[in-house]
Structure 1
Amino acid sequence: MSGILLIAYKLLTNDKGKFFSLLIGITFAVFLMVQMTSIFAGILNRSSATVANIGADVWIMDPAVNTVANTIPLPDYVLDAVRSMPGIRYAVPLYSGGALVKLSSGAYQAVSILGLDDTSLFGRPELEQGNIRDIYAENGFIVVKDSEYQKLDSPKIGTEFEVNDHRGVIVGIAKVSSGGLFGVPTLYTTYSRAVQYLPSTRYTSSYILLQLKTRDAMPAIRKEVAKMGYLALTKEDFVQRISDFYTYRTGIGTNILLMTVMSFIVGLAISGQTFYSFTLENLEKFGALKAIGAKSRELVSMILFQATFTALTGYGLGVGLCALLIFIAQHLLPDYASLITFGNLGLAFAMVVLIAAVSSYISIRKVLRIEPFDIFRG
């Protein structure tokens, strides 16, 4: 069998033009599939960045909330009622809102402000510079050093700015595990300062964050919160809710799906046509092998080997090219949201296998019908 496969390899690579056409077709298809799905994965990852960065076990919110940015304030009695429920270690409010800050240069920049519970500072980010206690100082804010950091003129500790005619001072520089999606810098401060500085409605709690004593308490808490007309979601459930919103209720999911399907069709068309043309040109060679005793299963093995070798080589080149492009783009464009996951790679691999299967099936049918007599008579 190794001799048969060696012949198959030489037949495949003998015509370098057609071989590289096959590789380019599959590589291009894989590149597009991985690129499109990676952009979508990056968008979903950044859309739930606040949930990941805060790290609360349970989020309580209005049922109409679909994303972290789409906040609907909760009445004060909800916090009091939740704190009295069994199975809860503690519950704290979180303020989440947007503001327009005036920088020392005179420029204006939109920001996202998160107000942490004054007592516990639950959800506080990890600081690279500064002391977390300084957030209690007059006008204290902590800035997140992410891809949007430069939009605030790369502030240092002690940098001043204005927010809604109030003075603000940077007292700390923090890092987070994931940057936001909407292209605005993030500032942290205390809950009371956020409510004081920013205009708000009658209610000010955007979310209520819970830490549970045990996960077994979650069903009862969910039921009690539902009786008040609100929603209690675990961190994982909230991330999934955000993902579902962007996937099914916006045009992002549909557009990415269409682009992925188009990439698959392009790869299937190019590789199928080229591989079939390659088989036709080598039909005499397959007939000669059959005449000297090669069995049908050996001819099938040759075609499957050729299709598999080409598909896997194109898959590796496509993934490598996509990874290289994402690496370069993220260095040149910090806001570029793209993330290669095992799911992306698995989907692209499954489609490449399908492309190889269809291409080889068309060629196998042609080869199995060949008769050595017809070849030598021609």
Structure 2
Amino acid sequence: MKGILQLAFKLLVNDSAKFTALLVGITFAVFLMVEMTSLFAGILNKSSSTVINVGAKMWVMDPAVQTIASSIGMPDYVLDAVRSTDGVKYAVPLYSGTALVKLRDGTYQAVTVIGLDDASLFGWPVMKQGKIEDIYAENGFVAIDDAEFVKLKNPTLGTDFELNDHRGVIVGIATVASSGLFGTPTLYTTYKRAVTYIPTTRYTTSYILVEPKSAADIAHIKQVVQSLGYVAFTKKEFMARISHFYKYETGLGTNIMLMTVISFIVGLSISGQTFYTFILENLEKFGALKAIGAKRHELIAMILFQATFTALTGYGLGIGLCAALISLARIRIPDYAAIITFGNLALAFAMVVVIAAMSSYLGIRRVLSIEPFDIFRG
């Protein structure tokens, strides 16, 4: 069998034109599939950036909330009721909203404002400059140093701005695990200052962050919150809810899926047709092998080896090309969303296996149908 596989390898690579065409087709298909799904994964990750950065185990919110950006205010009694629920270690309010700030040079910039609980500052970011306690200073805000930081004109400690006729001062610069999706810089401040500076509706509590005493208490907390007319989600559940919204209730998921399917069809058609042409051009060699005693399973092994080797090589090249281009894009575009996940790699691998299987099937059918007599007669 080893000799048969060596012969199959030589037959494959000696026809450099066909081998290159096969690699290009599969590489291009894998590149498109991974690029599209990676971009989608990056968008979904950024859509849950506040959930990731704050890190609360449970989130209480209005049932109509679908994304972190579409918060609906809750009355204060909900916070009191949650705090008094059995199994709750502590619960704090969180403000999440948008505002328009006037920078020092007179330009206006939309920002996302996160208001942390005044007493605990639960969910505060990792400080890069300054101390988190400085957020209590008059007009104090902490700017997040991410891809959108430059839109604030790269502020330093002491830089001031205007927010709804209120003066704001940068008292700290911090970093977070994930930057936002909508291309707006993020400012952290206290909950009280956020609801004072920014025009709000009657109710100002966007979310209630809950720390359960144990995992066993989560179900009871959810039940109590539901009886109040609101919902409680764990961190993973809330992220899944946000992802579901972008996947199925916007055109984003459908567009990405169509592009992935088109990439698969392109790869399948190119590789299938090219591999079948390769088999036809080498039909005499397969017929000769059959005539000198090559068994049926050995011919099948040759074709499977050739298709698998080509598919896996193209898969590796496609992944490498995608990773290289994403890295280059991030150098030029810091907020580029694409991230390669194990799920993306697994999906692309599964599709490559299908491409290899279909290509092999076409080749095997043709090779097994030939008769050595016909080859030598020709």
1:124-175 deviation digits (Å, cap 9, x = unpaired): 0010110111100000000000000000001000101100011000000000
Aligned counterpart, 2:319: 319
Amino acid at match of 1:241: R
Question: Matched residues in 1 for 2:300 and 2:93: separation?
Answer: 66
Mapping 1:26-105, distance limit 5 Å = 26-105=26-105
Displacement after TM superposition at 1:287 (Å): 0.5
Q: Is 2:230 the partner of 1:205?
A: no
| SS of residue in 1 equivalent to 2:239 | helix
Displacement after TM superposition at 1:335 (Å): 1.9
Amino acid at match of 1:329: A
| SS of residue in 1 equivalent to 2:337 | coil
Question: Matched residues in 2 for 1:127 and 1:57: separation?
Answer: 22
Question: Matched residues in 1 for 2:9 and 2:195: separation?
Answer: 70
Displacement after TM superposition at 1:15 (Å): 1.3
Mapping 1:184-199, distance limit 5 Å = 184-199=184-199
Question: Matched residues in 2 for 1:165 and 1:44: separation?
Answer: 35
Question: Matched residues in 2 for 1:343 and 1:237: separation?
Answer: 19
Question: Matched residues in 2 for 1:7 and 1:85: separation?
Answer: 73
Question: Matched residues in 2 for 1:357 and 1:37: separation?
Answer: 22
Question: Matched residues in 2 for 1:365 and 1:200: separation?
Answer: 70
Aligned counterpart, 2:333: 333
Displacement after TM superposition at 1:105 (Å): 1.1
1:303-327 deviation digits (Å, cap 9, x = unpaired): 0000000000000000000000000
Gaps of 5+ in 2: none
Amino acid at match of 1:103: L
Question: Matched residues in 2 for 1:145 and 1:28: separation?
Answer: 36
Amino acid at match of 1:132: I
Mapping 1:61-210, distance limit 5 Å = 61-210=61-210
| SS of residue in 2 equivalent to 1:138 | coil
Segment of structure 1 superposing worse, 328-337 or 136-145: 328-337
Question: Matched residues in 1 for 2:253 and 2:230: separation?
Answer: 28
Aligned counterpart, 2:240: 240
Question: TM-score, normalising length from structure 1?
Answer: 0.99
Q: Percent of aligned positions with the same letter in both sequences?
A: 69
Amino acid at match of 2:66: N
Aligned counterpart, 1:16: 16
Question: TM-score, normalising length from structure 2?
Answer: 0.99
Displacement after TM superposition at 1:28 (Å): 0.4
| SS of residue in 2 equivalent to 1:80 | helix
Give runs of ≥4 in structure 1 deviating > 6 Å.
none
| SS of residue in 1 equivalent to 2:188 | strand
1:82-139 deviation digits (Å, cap 9, x = unpaired): 1110111111100111000111111110000000000000010010110111100000
Amino acid at match of 1:150: V
Amino acid at match of 2:224: E
Aligned counterpart, 1:260: 260
Cα RMSD (Å) of the superposition?
0.6
Question: Matched residues in 2 for 1:294 and 1:10: separation?
Answer: 17
Displacement after TM superposition at 1:213 (Å): 0.7
Displacement after TM superposition at 1:13 (Å): 1.0
Displacement after TM superposition at 1:6 (Å): 1.0
Q: How many residues align?
A: 378
